[in-house]
């Protein structure tokens, strides 16, 4: 594809962003559909978020994904926020309609679709979710929508875990408790253990949000991180013979919903998965 004066610009804002596979996904999808669009990344420090949002409008950037740590704080700078994103309290997709910035959240259905792809059923089970930020909220909402029996939210900041727990109980009538991430060791067993924190993400690839002993008590382990492809957290699951999944499928599925908001249609997931696997094998 030739970049010219008619090329439409899309991107990702977050901090850090150098690990992101989103450019590979979207640029390949644009190319496969012969769209004159380009997707890039913007490393935006937290104190520069408002300026970045103004820049999206000023430069006419057509659409943007939002990642850590901006998913919640960006809401106050937007013109319109979807009902779903308001309910989750986090935005991961922006659409710029002639200077009007609209915020959406595609993480919930991205997570649900990723569980469907690995054949993991949620109804009636108990889940422990590590973290209480925007990604955690999307995961907890998804679990609630899929009729989970019980959720426990574990976070370093216990007050934040308490807030999210009370929100989930109030809005979805689901049993939802909370604790410090250090207290997870006291939970005897769990059907699903999900890491929604950035602990273990590139470049801090030797870290894990919890120890192997905790992971060994789960029946299914999920890490929203996809770079590295296999985190220390997931290596613990593998070593203990536990079914596990990384966040690549969630990334692709949420990206596909973002893509539809920007273009009106979905991309071919199988083509994108194939391209991603090639890229990962060749170290991108």
Q: Which residues are catalytic?
A: 71
* Residue 22 annotated as binding site: yes
* Residue 255 annotated as binding site: no
The DSSP output letter for 152 is: E
Angle, CA of 261, 114 and 68, to the nearest 5°: 65
* Residue 51 annotated as binding site: no
Q: Give Cα separations from 89 to 51, 68, 72, 241 (angstroms).
A: 21, 14, 6, 36
* Residue 283 annotated as binding site: no
* Residue 20 annotated as binding site: yes
- Which uninterrupted H or E stretch holds 169? helix 158-172
Q: How far apart are CA 14 and CA 43, in angstroms?
A: 6
| Residue found under tokens 């410090």 | 180
* Residue 58 annotated as binding site: no
Residue 87, classified by CB atoms within 10 Å of its CB into exposed (0-12), middle (13-18) or buried (19+), is middle
For the record, the structure tokens of 116 come out as: 């469907």
* Residue 265 annotated as binding site: no
Q: How far apart are CA 140 and CA 117, in angstroms?
A: 18
* Residue 216 annotated as binding site: no
| Residue found under tokens 């060749």 | 282
* Residue 11 annotated as binding site: no
* Residue 92 annotated as binding site: yes
* Residue 150 annotated as binding site: no
* Residue 131 annotated as binding site: yes
Q: How far apart are CA 213 and CA 66, in angstroms?
A: 33
* Residue 135 annotated as binding site: yes
SS3 letters across 54-105: HHHHHHCCCEEEECCCCCCHHHHHCCEECHHHHHHCCCCEEEEECCEEEEEC
8-26: b or e for each residue (b if 16 or more CB lie within 10 Å)? Answer: bbbbbbbeebebbbbbbbb
Closest CA to 223 of 247, 255, 251, 243: 247
Q: How far apart are CA 277 and CA 224, in angstroms?
A: 17
* Residue 134 annotated as binding site: yes
Annotated binding site for NADP(+): 83, 131-135, 224, 247
Residues within the annotated binding site?
20-22, 67, 83, 92, 107, 131-135, 224, 226, 247, 254
Binding site residue list for shikimate: 20-22, 67, 92, 107, 226, 254
């Amino acid at each position: 594809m030739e970049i010219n004066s008619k090329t439409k610009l899309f991107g990702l804002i977050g901090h850090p962003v150098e690990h992101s596979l989103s450019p590979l996904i979207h640029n390949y999808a644009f190319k496969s559909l012969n769209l004159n669009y380009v997707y890039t990344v913007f490393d935006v420090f937290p104190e520069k978020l408002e300026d970045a949002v103004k820049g999206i409008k000023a430069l006419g950037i057509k659409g943007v994904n939002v990642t850590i740590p901006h998913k919640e704080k960006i809401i106050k700078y937007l013109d319109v926020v979807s009902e779903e994103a308001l309910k989750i309290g986090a935005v991961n997709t922006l659409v710029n309609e002639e200077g009007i910035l609209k915020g959406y959240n595609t993480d919930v259905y991205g997570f649900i679709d990723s569980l469907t792809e690995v054949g993991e059923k949620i109804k009636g089970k108990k889940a422990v979710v590590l973290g209480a930020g925007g990604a955690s909220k999307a995961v907890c909402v998804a679990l609630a929508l899929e009729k989970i029996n019980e959720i426990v939210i574990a976070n370093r900041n216990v007050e934040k875990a308490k807030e999210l727990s009370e929100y989930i109980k109030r809005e979805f009538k689901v049993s939802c408790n909370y604790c410090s991430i250090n207290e997870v060791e006291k939970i005897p067993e769990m059907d699903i253990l999900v890491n929604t924190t950035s602990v273990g993400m590139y470049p801090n690839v030797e870290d894990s949000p919890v120890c192997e002993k905790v992971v060994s008590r789960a029946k299914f382990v999920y890490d929203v991180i996809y770079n590295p492809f296999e985190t220390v957290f997931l290596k613990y699951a593998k070593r203990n013979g536990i079914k596990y999944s990384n966040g690549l499928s969630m990334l692709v599925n949420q990206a596909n919903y973002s893509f539809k908001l920007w273009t009106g249609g979905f991309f071919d997931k199988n083509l994108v998965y194939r391209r991603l696997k090639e890229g990962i094998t060749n170290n991108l």
